[in-house]
Amino acid sequence: MALFDLNGRRALVTGSSMGIGLALARGLGQAGARIVLNARNAERLAEAAQALRDEGLTVDELPFDVTDHEGVRAAVDAYEADEGAIDILVNNAGMQHRAPLEDFPPEAFDRLMKTNVYSAFHVGQACARHMIGRGAGRIINIASVQTSLARPGIAPYTATKGAIANLTKGMTTDWARTGLNCNAIAPGYFKTPLNEALVADPEFTSWLEKRTPAGRWGEVEELVGACVFLSAPASNFVNGQTLFVDGGITASL
């Protein structure tokens, strides 16, 4: 369907050498987009890129540190000049750190803010400067169920994901009039490298299965549909929204 066709578009996905980022990149590529993979680790990035190429997808590699404002801008500007327009940005790069709030290391809080929030600003601004000039562009920020819920031991992470939802609204308020669509996807509990410890914990898995109306962990491929929708013409009048893909966990007490 033309409403979901991404042929001729380029999509930059940050933190896309594994986990949710890689799954979203693969899904956007299968919908027709040319994929621009990003990560700090160039070797791991190259492996992910080759895996997608082996599946028949068109992939570029753009290694840079999402927390380095000048480095981000230089990388995005160079890619735009040398390769062409970045039509879709998925701000996926993120990290987690678990500790009781009263003992939470301030340096870990700082890393969380830089990786989960500052990065969305840095890369979002760098791409938006080009998108605004073209009068079109899609920015999709990856939020979390912790955008609206909290659990013990991850209060700073919760703060970063709340910030992502409001940054998304701010992007919309400033940029929708220029032709940009800025939205967020809030995943529930998915089997990812970030959640390895929780997946391996039978007690937590049992709690999650009872707490989630769908009764299970999510699979990363189940996030692809939302990402394609928000990247495609089907969502032309959708702006400033956070779409929860969580098996119903935020809908149920």
Provide the pLDDT confidence category of residue 207 given band limits of 50, 70 and 90.
Answer: very high
5 C-beta neighbours (distance < 10 Å), count: 15
Contact 180, 222 (CB under 8 A): no
Q: What is the reported pLDDT for 181?
A: 98
Is residue 6 pLDDT above 90, yes or no? yes
The number of beta carbons lying within 10 Å of the beta carbon of residue 198 is: 18
The Cα 88–Cα 130 span in angstroms is 11
Residue 133's pLDDT band (boundaries 50, 70, 90)?
very high
Q: How confident is the model at residue 85 (pLDDT cuts 50, 70, 90)?
A: very high
Report the catalytic residues: 157
pLDDT at residue 196 tops 90: no
Residue 26 burial class via C-beta count within 10 angstroms: exposed 0-12, middle 13-18, buried 19 and up = buried
Q: Give the mean pLDDT of the chain.
A: 97
**Alpha carbon distance 86, 156 (integer Å):** 31
Check: pTM over 0.95? Answer yes or no.
yes
- Considering the domain delimited by 2-192+219-245, tell me its CATH architecture: 3-Layer(aba) Sandwich (3.40)
Residue 21: per-residue pLDDT = 97
3-class DSSP state for residue 15?
A: coil
Percentage of the chain lying above the pLDDT 90 cut = 96
pLDDT digits (tens, 9 = 90+) for 61-83: 999 999 999 999 999 999 999 99
Q: What is the mean pLDDT of residues 120-146?
A: 98
Q: What is the reported pLDDT for 39?
A: 96
Burial class (CB in 10 A: 0-12, 13-18, 19+), 181: buried
User: Is the pLDDT assigned to residue 193 strictly greater than 90?
Assistant: no
Domain boundaries defined on the chain? 2-192+219-245
What's the confidence (pLDDT) of residue 194?
Answer: 80
149/188 Cα distance (integer angstroms):
10
End-to-end CA distance of the chain: 37
Residue 6 half-sphere exposure, CB side, CA atoms within 13 Å? 29
- According to DSSP, the residues that pair with 61 across neighbouring strands are 37
Helix 42-54 and helix 19-30, axial crossing angle in degrees, nearest 10: 30
**Which residues, 6+ apart, have CB-to-CB distance to 186 below 8 Å?**
143, 144, 145, 147, 148, 161, 165, 242, 243, 244, 245, 246, 250
pLDDT for the residue 12: 98
d(CA 174, CA 180): 9
DSSP E strands in 4-110: the ranges are: 10-13, 34-37, 59-61, 88-91
